Structure 1
Amino acid sequence: MLIFWLTIFSLVANYVESAVITADPCTVISGKDWVSPAEARACMTAFPLEPQARANVIEVVSKMLPFHASENYQLQAPPPFEKIHVNLASELVRLNTTQYSSEFEFHLDMQRTMQRANDGHFTMYNYCYDRLYHTFIPLPLVFLTDESNGKRDVFIAPEAFKVASEEFKDQIEFWQNGLPGILKGNLASLSGSKVLLIDGEDPLIAVNDSANVKGVSQAFATRQNYFFASYGHDLEDWTYNMGDFAHQAYPIVDSVQLTVQRPNNTQTDVFTIPYRARANVLAKEHIKDLSSYRQKICIADENTNGADRNDTSASSQSDPDENPEIAFLHQEYEPGLELSKSPMRIQRDGIPSDLPDMDIALPEDLRPKSDPLDESHGAAQFFMLDGNKTGVLLYGSFFARGRRATRLVARRLLQGLQKLKDDGADRLIVDVTNNGGGAIRLSHWLHRILMGYSDKTYPQAGLDTTARAGPLAQIIVEQIITKDLDPRNRSRYNPARWRNAQHRPLPLNKNWLKTGPKLMINGKYDAFSERLGQEAQPFRDTLGIDPPQERLFDPKNILILSNGVCFSSCGLFSVRMAKSHGVRTVVAGGQNNIRQEYTGMIGAQVINFKDIDTEVKSAKLKNHTLAPPDFLSRSAMSVTWRLGYGVNNPNEPEEWQPHWADIAFPLTLSTVNNPEAIWKALASQYLGNNTLFRVQKP
């Protein structure tokens, strides 16, 4: 009898253990490269929202808001950005009381609430969920103009199958075999198809729905352009961005129905194609079950929170000011760059992604046929078009990895531009498509060397700025100047790091956050620092090189080209070139009834939570009631720390002033995602002897 009951107990125990394993949705996706969105979603939504986790995130965000310079501007943005209106303080109250089915649902609501500010510098990430699974379909879309009648429509990119079959070699057969009827196994035939309906509605409804929740950019037209595929160039090579239709950040959409008309066909095809979710490095390595997922990915680690610079015993000294004279002048935000030992790169919207997921290559036949000049380096590539009259600077990112790299890029920029001029070019196209920003100093430098010495480039080649002077920020400055808590001048709040409106160093014993204006913004009083002047010159000291005295190119012979995604330092450069010198700006693609903007995010400097936490801890203020607590989750947050004063209206932030592109360049089957074809068309139409100047109409 004892043996009988032991046998029964063993069977029951095995059954229970098996049931527990089956009930754990993360075991289903363990170790897999590709899963269905539903499978990934089941694992990601398995964690309930614990009160402590919610309280921690909301407290960090609420106590970071006083450092965010745009908070009150975003209550109701001025024209032409009237649709931007979000009361972040009120939204935090709502987020604190709403019932959520999971921690993931709470995080998604938090992130999308912040995205309503349409400010790519104002972000919130939780690496338990963000970009853990990249979700794709093999049909990137483009917005093209019919050269015969000027009509614009949505198409599946002509290069769609070529890109997908190369990037998704281990998944392409799944999509091939999943197509219905005559389309089965014939995915390639869909490339170049006109898209008539998306989920039964006009494609532009899907474009606008995506733009409404995208965030990132004040300019609605730019958020629309994110929907479509585009090219770029990172620090190493040409890249292909699938667009927000074909590449989504979360596994929350399972499939899409498309109604299309294939090339050279009169009939229409209606089919449903599933999205598939691809695991990033962290997910594939650490998600074995719910427990391993939580412990290995979701909990704060040594890279999440800041550290006291003055505490030599601190376990983590990974201060973002590793090269203080360079790093603090970087725009581009790199949250969580240390999360994986694998190489990582930054996508346009600032979300870090592992290379196997994001490093999609631009097909060879779309790349320039001519080789770049020898002076090319990293994201800065130089080309000479036929006839040696028009040079091209393709500049994919202002980012540089540290002081040495920044100085090398500065030198190569000058050498490459001088080489173009020496070889006969008197016209220049600066292609900054998908340039998300980087070093402020390089922005100032490129402006200065192109335009030469004048009162518009010296002593200020950028924008005068102001920092928000919240109560805790003022106390940090007070601690520094009265208690000598920053002997190495590493703090962003140390007056030794800044110059005043007359471009002279700030007094070292003066709290520069208490001497600025009190402003009324959307019915709320706000405090800002005194006006800050230039921060990059003399370039001999900061970049190790002197700029030429004479301008390299006549501004009327320069075009600045992008798809509207030219942010941060790229925006600073473009604004100064356009508004101070009359350089024309071009946006390629986009709807013809929506005015295109050449930049939709400027700010003047972004700062992340880890940096602020380091400032607070180094000033011995971590226990202050205004200080944000440490993140408990593996999270990151950034805010706009400084705003730049406008060029045309110097009393208001440039961030909230229009940036209409002069030229809206329509893309066609022959030019879409083909940079050299676009450059040649622009050179022919706008940089010839009879230069056309087509200004967009409102």
Structure 2
Amino acid sequence: MIVKTTAAALLGLGCTFADAVSLPQIGILPAASIVKRQAAPAKYVPTEDDLSSGCANIARVAASFGRTSEAGSATAFPVDAKIAYDCLASIPLDKDAVLLFLNELKKFVQFQSTLEYLARPPSKSGQDPMDLLGGLTDIGTAVNSGSITSWNDVETRAEKLLDGCHEGHLYVTWPLPSLISFRAPFQLVSMSSDGTQLPKVYVADDAQLESTGNGQFNASAITQIDGQDVVQAIDKLMYYESSQSPDTRWNAAFQSQNPPKQGEFFTRTRYPGANTFVLTFENGTSTEYSYTAKALNVPGQNIWSKLTSGQDVWDKIINVPPAQNSGAAGKLRARALEDYKHRTMISPMDETLRRLKKRQTANNEVPPPDQLVILNGDFPDTPGVKPYIQDINQVVGGYFMADYDKSDDNSKTAIIDVTGFSPDNTTAEFATQAVQAAVEMFLAEAKRRKMERLIIDVRGNGGGYVNMGYDLYKQLFPSSEPYSGTRLRNHPASLKIAQAFTQLVNQEVIDDLIKNIGGGVGANLSVAQAARYEQATFASVSNLDQFLNLDANGTAFKSFGDFFGPVDIYDDQFTHTLTYDLRNLIAVGDLGYSITGYGDRASYANNPDPFKPENIILVTDGVCASTCGIFAEFLRNQQKIRTVVVGGRPDKEPSPAVGGTRGTQVIQHNAHMLKFVEIVEQNFAPRDAAEQAEWDGIFPRPFQLNIPEAAVNWKDNIRKTDPTQTPLQFYLEAADCRLFYTKQTLVYSHELWNRVDDLAWGSEDNCAQGSLKNANVVLGDANGVPVSIGPVTGPGFNSGANGDLPQLTGDYDVDTALWIWYGVRYSIGSSRGRTPA
């Protein structure tokens, strides 16, 4: 077996799967590091001496690293896993500061749309019960009693409480993983011999390098991790990944090319529980390997010179209010936000406001379409082939199979690869316009070439701009009205904000703004109107405005009560069902942009569909979430599009095409919620001291610790035909066809597209599970209730047989979180009974 270590790997810089093919062999681990054993390494518990020296040891490594050439550009430097954990475990806390933070977090978490559903998950959902407010209360109780004395324990336990909800829109951007994180010495891949046989798990470099001259595959598969069956071990490791589907969580463990990722077996945000691990292989050998860690490096600065103890980290990194977080605390905050940038791109609001502020400048105009696209350029997700066209931000690429498959020059199949619904670059401009232009030009070329079939690849697509998803659907089906019924949780804070926004941004204000926006990207707005537009933009993002929403039938609400409710469902209260007003420029929230079929693109609604629904296939790896989930729902529910899901656990069971969050909007604490509250309080004053106290008790306030960001799922997605009105988040609906990755399809997307093309329209018939030629798109039972592949009763996936506890910590230290699990699983408190202290 070949094991390589490189400076890039140690620094967490890594390489893509395609890069790994051409990497030279650096060397094999010395014989002294190879141990023939199968038992799991013992859980590591630092001594008092370890705790007192951990951060100081990192500071010494940092000083040495600062003298190397890499220090001027590297974002991290390697440290021993043991001393990294010693430092983390030594970080103390101040009770009052932590309790204040937890209280503010609970006030914000009350906006999570699925609170009651999480506490008592519906049958077949696959979700274990998680009482968010009760669990946060229990953590605070443990801090107050002295049972928790380390800030690292607070982060770890609260993170697992949130992550156990398997809701990608619900998270806190914790500071410590950006200060210190951990790495395995190599990445893993999961591959099948032919795409239908059950896959096996391999060390990624072995899978790339161990092939004989005649093309036979000789790498030895992994059978155990730390003495446990490899499938069970990876299931346990990935339990706290954010996707609802266990197959999607499985995929997240592994290296892939589309999208390029190293996999969460390799990249560990938290200490793995031990300093080493043991792999056992099919060939009978067992080998022990060491974890490493990476510590934050700020080029040109040695921040660790002032972080020589856990107390220093608490004082200078954690216990620092956002307004004061200069120096190391500010650098850490910026790094953490950068790490989460894919979750920040949730609406066009930021770009719209930037463009509004420079509305009088010449470069504020949207460029013509031909300046928003690239022809025949490289595309990061597809080595080996180039798209005919892509947008300038590399969000979508359009391909023609005849261009790259010379064995089928007459192919009538086109492909759209949608990497996300927002750019990776958070400062990218004209993102929605560029994707709109690229797709329109691609479809025009497909028509010219007389294409008949379309494959849409959304693997790795975690969502983004809602507008982009709507527009892509409307370009494919111009005359169809996309339906997405959504709702928000109705509680005292959301009611106050809704009352304020509805009063501030009423129909008269909306009409005035739309009249004066004009075609100059807001250039015609006065300073006062621009300020009003900014206010309206936040009202639009919040969806807490009667006049910026339509009802389930697509008509205006007659009254505030008709809009906001409350509607009693599932022992909780919600708004009435809302739909998106695509004809309202303020509701769309993107200056200079109209969704296809509306506004200045209304005439497109008369165009014929470029492809018949039966000639479109949607390919996913289950990651599809948020806006991608909305887009997939349009295709599947309204057009009966067939789906293929790739990867997942090694079984022949059905697997969902959409395994990520099916919520329709994420709202962030700092970027959005605090602005909502600010607008309310700037425009309305409490009547008396009692009402001021009420506002202070329900409105989220700034965190007084250095927490870069937090988020909740703001809106549920409710299928129109479901009489139970259960959020789609709690349905796992099977794809029509399931495949596993092979060595070729894992690296080369076009090999997978060729396989799907043959399964749908060619001579091949066999999916690993299901079928494309005889697909029966399941859209609900006789009553219209979506059909889920989750278990009928009992605990969710991965909870273990006979009610055994899941491995809550994801790796080894299950005992540190048992009390949280018992508090949640056995209903010690409920989300209704737990209110902010």
Same fold flag (TM > 0.5): yes
1:616 equivalent in structure 2: 677
Equivalent pairs counted in the alignment come to 592
The one of 581, 593, 599 aligned to 2:639:
581
8 Å CA contact 2:201–2:221 kept in 1: the answer is yes
Q: How much does 1:151 deviate?
A: 4.2
The one of 723, 728, 736 aligned to 1:654:
728
TM-score by length of 1: 0.76
1:563 equivalent in structure 2: 621
Distance, in Å, in 1 between the alignment partners of 2:337 and 2:208 is 27
The one of 236, 255, 264 aligned to 1:209:
236
8 Å CA contact 2:657–2:733 kept in 1: the answer is yes
2:134 equivalent in structure 1: 90
Secondary structure in 1 aligned to 2:487? strand
Q: How much does 1:87 deviate?
A: 1.4
Q: How much does 1:536 deviate?
A: 3.0
TM-score by length of 2: 0.64
Q: How much does 1:639 deviate?
A: 0.8
User: Does residue 396 of structure 1 match 2:396?
Assistant: no
1:39 equivalent in structure 2: 83
Distance, in Å, in 2 between the alignment partners of 1:417 and 1:299 is 53
Paired amino acid for 1:629: R
Distance 1:208 1:505, change over 3 A: same
Distance 1:466 1:141, change over 3 A: same
Secondary structure in 2 aligned to 1:245? coil
Distance, in Å, in 2 between the alignment partners of 1:497 and 1:149 is 48
Q: Unaligned 5+ residue runs, structure 2?
A: 1-50, 66-76, 210-216, 347-377, 507-530, 687-691, 765-771, 779-788, 790-837
Deviates more, 1:617-626 or 1:218-227: 617-626
8 Å CA contact 2:53–2:86 kept in 1: the answer is no
Q: How much does 1:440 deviate?
A: 0.8
2:757 equivalent in structure 1: 683
8 Å CA contact 2:487–2:715 kept in 1: the answer is yes
8 Å CA contact 1:586–1:598 kept in 2: the answer is yes
Distance 1:303 1:656, change over 3 A: farther
2:42 equivalent in structure 1: none
Distance 1:506 1:130, change over 3 A: farther
Q: How much does 1:73 deviate?
A: 0.9
User: Does residue 72 of structure 1 match 2:116?
Assistant: yes
Paired amino acid for 1:406: T
Distance, in Å, in 2 between the alignment partners of 1:587 and 1:421 is 28
User: Does residue 640 of structure 1 match 2:713?
Assistant: yes
8 Å CA contact 1:197–1:260 kept in 2: the answer is yes
Q: How much does 1:656 deviate?
A: 2.1
Q: How much does 1:568 deviate?
A: 0.4
Distance 1:647 1:515, change over 3 A: closer
Deviates more, 1:62-71 or 1:619-628: 619-628
1:24 equivalent in structure 2: 56
Report 1:298-377 matches (<5 A): 298-300=318-320, 302=322, 339-340=333-334, 344=338, 346=340, 367-377=382-392
User: Does residue 517 of structure 1 match 2:589?
Assistant: no
8 Å CA contact 1:437–1:567 kept in 2: the answer is yes
Report 1:153-232 matches (<5 A): 153-157=200-204, 192-214=219-241, 216-232=242-258
Distance 1:584 1:296, change over 3 A: farther
Distance 1:248 1:417, change over 3 A: farther
Q: Percent identity?
A: 19
8 Å CA contact 2:322–2:705 kept in 1: the answer is no
Report 1:415-426 matches (<5 A): 415-426=441-452
The one of 158, 169, 175 aligned to 1:121:
169
Deviates more, 1:110-119 or 1:244-253: 244-253
8 Å CA contact 1:392–1:429 kept in 2: the answer is yes
Distance 1:87 1:365, change over 3 A: closer
User: Does residue 245 of structure 1 match 2:265?
Assistant: yes
Per-residue deviation, residues 393-423 of structure 1 (Å, max 9, x unmatched): 1111101457722122222122223323322
Q: How much does 1:57 deviate?
A: 2.4
Report 1:386-465 matches (<5 A): 386=405, 387=409, 388-400=411-423, 404-453=430-479, 457-458=480-481, 461-465=482-486
Distance, in Å, in 1 between the alignment partners of 2:652 and 2:344 is 29
Q: Which has the higher helix share?
A: 2
Distance, in Å, in 1 between the alignment partners of 2:105 and 2:500 is 23
Per-residue deviation, residues 481-525 of structure 1 (Å, max 9, x unmatched): 457799431322333332233334446x73666434122x1xx3x
Q: How much does 1:40 deviate?
A: 1.9
Secondary structure in 1 aligned to 2:281? strand
1:533 equivalent in structure 2: 579
User: Does residue 103 of structure 1 match 2:162?
Assistant: no
Q: How much does 1:643 deviate?
A: 0.9
Distance, in Å, in 2 between the alignment partners of 1:442 and 1:113 is 32
Q: Unaligned 5+ residue runs, structure 1?
A: 1-18, 163-189, 234-238, 262-266, 306-335, 353-362
1:311 equivalent in structure 2: none
Secondary structure in 2 aligned to 1:24? helix
Distance, in Å, in 1 between the alignment partners of 2:501 and 2:477 is 39
Per-residue deviation, residues 506-552 of structure 1 (Å, max 9, x unmatched): 46x73666434122x1xx3x221122122334789634645452111
Deviates more, 1:470-479 or 1:570-579: 470-479
Per-residue deviation, residues 587-627 of structure 1 (Å, max 9, x unmatched): 11122244211112111111011111221122117853212
Distance, in Å, in 1 between the alignment partners of 2:223 and 2:323 is 47
Per-residue deviation, residues 293-331 of structure 1 (Å, max 9, x unmatched): 4566435555899xxxxxxxxxxxxxxxxxxxxxxxxxx
Secondary structure in 2 aligned to 1:628? coil
Distance, in Å, in 1 between the alignment partners of 2:169 and 2:336 is 25
Paired amino acid for 1:242: Q
Deviates more, 1:611-620 or 1:565-574: 611-620
Q: How much does 1:558 deviate?
A: 1.3
Q: How much does 1:86 deviate?
A: 1.0
Secondary structure in 2 aligned to 1:27? helix
Distance, in Å, in 2 between the alignment partners of 1:22 and 1:517 is 54
Q: How much does 1:692 deviate?
A: 2.4
Distance 1:42 1:471, change over 3 A: same
Deviates more, 1:26-35 or 1:566-575: 26-35
The one of 697, 700, 715 aligned to 1:625:
697
Secondary structure in 1 aligned to 2:713? strand
8 Å CA contact 2:198–2:651 kept in 1: the answer is no
Q: How much does 1:231 deviate?
A: 2.5
Q: How much does 1:280 deviate?
A: 4.2
8 Å CA contact 1:469–1:527 kept in 2: the answer is yes
8 Å CA contact 1:381–1:393 kept in 2: the answer is yes
Paired amino acid for 1:604: T
8 Å CA contact 2:54–2:87 kept in 1: the answer is no
Per-residue deviation, residues 538-592 of structure 1 (Å, max 9, x unmatched): 7896346454521111111111112111110001111221122111111111222
Distance, in Å, in 2 between the alignment partners of 1:469 and 1:67 is 8
Secondary structure in 1 aligned to 2:334? coil
Q: How much does 1:94 deviate?
A: 1.6
2:666 equivalent in structure 1: 606
Secondary structure in 1 aligned to 2:547? helix
